[in-house]
Amino acid sequence: MPLELIINRIENENAGIRVLYLTAADGSDLPAYTPGAHIDVALDGIGTRSYSLIDFSPPMDPPFCYCIAVQREDAGQGGSVAMHQYQFGDIITATEPCNDFELRQTCESPVILVAGGIGVTPLISMATKLQESAVEFQFHYSGRNAAVTAFRKVLEEQFGEQLFLYLDDENPVLLDAVFSSSEKPADVYICGPAGMIEATREAALAAGVSADAIHVELFSTPVTASADEAFEVEIQSTGQVYTIPVGKSIIDVLEDEGLDLVFDCQRGDCGICQTDVISGTPDHRDVVLSEAEKASGKVMQICVSRARSERLVLDL
């Protein structure tokens, strides 16, 4: 059921980031959500854009609202620019909260949160929940410089010694030290640009963290590359062949053809749609597989990855 949300308050966190506070346009209570959740905002002529819901402690004014942060990207596809044009009192349409980046309930050894840039937003909610639950955690947050790093003051005040802040131009993060300086974490949550996610995953794995304890959220929407071409997918079990055009994923086409597939995020960061590759060369665009797994060419995430060969034969 779509939500009609009114912009109740706007704050400029810095020159490029706006914080929007949203309440129900009809004054009703908003649906509850869990840390890591997001809403998808509908933008005319552009499509939908996902924004993580932010929880601070204590909750920021106004109460009973959703809080999101939007970083303006003038070189992007127009979504962030459109969001920055909204004014106080405007009404937007969004989905109810959904969560592909769920915080597991654990009271075991420390939880490590690693954020890059605007990817900090879902991890703020996780850190708030962990703090309220008295679960030991470390919150590592890296930004380009002081001018563009959001929420520094409020995070320092809220999390104190649990927050580790890094600035690329002053004290860049050393990922090996993040994992070697603490006991092995029960879970690691990572959100930020793809390169940062992959580097953090590799550092965690090298430190002995199990792959199933590493959870990632890619803070961007996979885009179609200009060099993309159509390719074919053959289903090994039936021999059926389908053409995957530019602008559609393997899942899009196979679902349209009536195949029953298992998938979730459709952004390449949850791993649920991982599929064995019998032949052909995948074009990997996920943040789940390790570099070794990508190089092997034996598995792929069919929600975002495409093909470098004319045909892929998949174990479906």
φ, ψ dihedrals at 267, nearest 5°: -125, 0
How many residues are recorded in the chain? 316
Boundary of a domain, candidates 218, 246, 264: 218
Are 250 and 233 contacting, i.e. CB atoms less than 8 angstroms apart? yes
Whole-model pTM: value is 0.77
Q: What is the pLDDT of residue 239?
A: 93
| Residue 226, in any domain of the structure | no
Boundary of a domain, candidates 172, 195, 218: 218
Which pLDDT tens digit goes with each residue over 142-198?
A: 999 988 899 999 999 999 999 999 999 889 998 888 988 667 888 999 999 888 888
Question: Do residues 156 and 252 both lie within one domain?
Answer: no
Q: What is the pLDDT of residue 59?
A: 66
Question: Do residues 154 and 65 both lie within one domain?
Answer: no
Per the prediction, the chain carries an average pLDDT of 89
Question: Do residues 182 and 265 both lie within one domain?
Answer: no
Are 128 and 158 contacting, i.e. CB atoms less than 8 angstroms apart? yes
Q: Between the CA of residue 209 and those of 150, 180, 213, 227, 302, what are the distances in Å? A: 29, 11, 7, 36, 26
Domain of residue 296 covers 231-314
How many domains does one find in the chain?
Answer: 3
Mean pLDDT of 69-91: 89
Q: Who has greater pLDDT, 273 or 105?
A: 273
Boundary of a domain, candidates 67, 94, 121: 94
Q: What is the CATH number of the domain that holds 211?
A: 3.40.50.80
Which pLDDT tens digit goes with each residue over 89-121?
A: 999 999 999 998 999 876 666 899 999 999 999
Q: How far is CA 71 from the centre of its chain?
A: 14
Q: What is the pLDDT of residue 17?
A: 95
Confidence of residue 74 (pLDDT cuts 50, 70, 90): confident
Q: What is the pLDDT of residue 225?
A: 53
Mean pLDDT of 234-240: 94
Q: What is the pLDDT of residue 66?
A: 95
Q: What is the pLDDT of residue 108?
A: 66
Confidence of residue 217 (pLDDT cuts 50, 70, 90): confident
- Integer Cα distance of 113 and 137 in angstroms: 8
- Residue 220 in this model has a pLDDT that exceeds 70: no
Q: Kind of pairing, strands 91-94 and 3-12?
A: antiparallel
